[in-house]
């Protein structure tokens, strides 16, 4: 997507968010001030995203304004953060029937909010600001019950549904258009050092409670069944289930992460 298309899509999404917020504020005056603080009082999506992260994560040791400025700095230096946030937002709307509109995941889904915070923490980590990055990781853990290392590399169009209990390790890599549910672990196998976490390719669907351990590859458009423990590479377009996980199908048509079809293939 070229710069013009990206700018147009950003503006379109931002205007849709504002319209939804204005409608809710009229219907539910109780929420009017809240919506003004976290969304309607901002001029752009970038500003609203910075305000949202700051509002969710500030505590009595760090001012909300300082966090907001930090997110603004990251977004200005790395515009991909905002582009990914927009792609993630659209992904949730398209894949989660409970969302219903853009504003619901933006304001209330901790999987979405925690992921956007990790993107800022990743920027800090890349700039050698290790303790600032670890602070954000810690706050996301405390606030949302998610533990995503700042160094983990995560693509765009990613949906972390529910978010509770998700753990993603330092050297993990998650591709584009991936979907995962609660209590997923992309972890190590023990005290191995260096590159020790999974590499999840584009279009992968990971069911609730799945544990993927070690420096292994989950191939493009694969499906990992809920509760599975995966210790070895998974070929592209395959379905694996069980403890330890075994291949039960070598044909996953399309991208399971987009269809959100968790059913096992019929024989």
Q: What tens digit of pLDDT does each residue of 22-32 get? A: 999 999 999 99
What pLDDT does 255 receive? 86
Residue with tokens 């290790």: 130
Phi, psi for residue 29 in degrees, rounded to 5: -55, -25
Enumerate the CATH 2.160.10.10 domain ranges in the chain, comma separated: 152-267
- Provide mean pLDDT across the span 55-71: 91
Find the angle CA(168)-CA(172)-CA(175) to the nearest 5 degrees: 100
> 7 falls in which pLDDT band (50, 70, 90)?
confident
- Provide mean pLDDT across the span 206-211: 98
Give the whole-number percent of the chain exceeding pLDDT 70: 96
The answer to whether the beta carbons of residues 247 and 225 sit under 8 Å apart is no
- Is the pLDDT at 5 greater than 70? The verdict is no
What pLDDT does 107 receive? 95
Enumerate the CATH 1.10.3130.10 domain ranges in the chain, comma separated: 1-146
What pLDDT does 4 receive? 57
CA distance 188 to 139: 22
Q: Residue 32 is encoded by which pair of tokens?
A: 């009017």
How is domain 1-146 classified at the CATH fold level? Answer: 1.10.3130
- Provide mean pLDDT across the span 3-10: 70
pTM: 0.93
- Over its C-alpha atoms, the chain yields an Rg (Å, rounded) of 19
Q: Which tens digits make up the pLDDT trace of 212-236?
A: 999 999 999 999 999 999 999 999 9
> 185 falls in which pLDDT band (50, 70, 90)?
very high
CATH of region 152-267? 2.160.10.10
Q: Which tens digits make up the pLDDT trace of 83-95?
A: 999 999 999 999 9
- Is the pLDDT at 264 greater than 90? The verdict is no
More confident of the two residues 34 and 265: 34
């Amino acid at each position: 997507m070229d710069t013009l298309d990206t700018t147009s899509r950003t503006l379109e999404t931002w205007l849709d968010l504002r319209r939804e917020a204005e409608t809710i504020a009229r219907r539910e005056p109780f929420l009017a001030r809240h919506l003004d603080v976290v969304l309607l009082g901002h001029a752009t999506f970038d500003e609203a995203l910075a305000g949202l992260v700051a509002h969710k994560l500030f505590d009595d040791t760090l001012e909300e304004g300082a966090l907001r400025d930090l997110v603004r700095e990251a977004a200005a230096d790395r515009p991909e953060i905002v582009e990914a946030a927009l792609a993630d937002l659209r992904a949730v709307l398209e894949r989660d029937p409970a969302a219903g509109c853009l504003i619901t995941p933006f304001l209330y889904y901790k999987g979405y909010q925690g992921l956007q915070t990790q993107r800022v923490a990743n920027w800090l980590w890349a700039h050698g600001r290790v303790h600032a990055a670890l602070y954000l990781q810690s706050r996301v853990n405390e606030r949302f019950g998610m533990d995503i290392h700042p160094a983990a590399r995560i693509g765009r169009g990613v949906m972390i549904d529910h978010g509770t209990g998700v753990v993603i390790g330092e050297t993990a890599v998650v591709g584009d258009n991936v979907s995962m549910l609660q209590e997923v672990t992309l972890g190590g196998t023990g005290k191995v050092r260096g590159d020790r976490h999974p590499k999840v390719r584009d279009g992968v669907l990971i069911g609730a409670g799945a544990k993927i351990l070690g420096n292994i590859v989950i191939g493009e458009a694969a499906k990992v069944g809920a509760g599975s423990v995966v210790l070895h590479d998974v070929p592209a377009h395959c379905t694996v289930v069980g403890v330890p996980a075994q291949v039960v199908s070598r044909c996953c048509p399309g991208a399971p992460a987009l269809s959100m079809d968790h059913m096992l293939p019929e024989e």
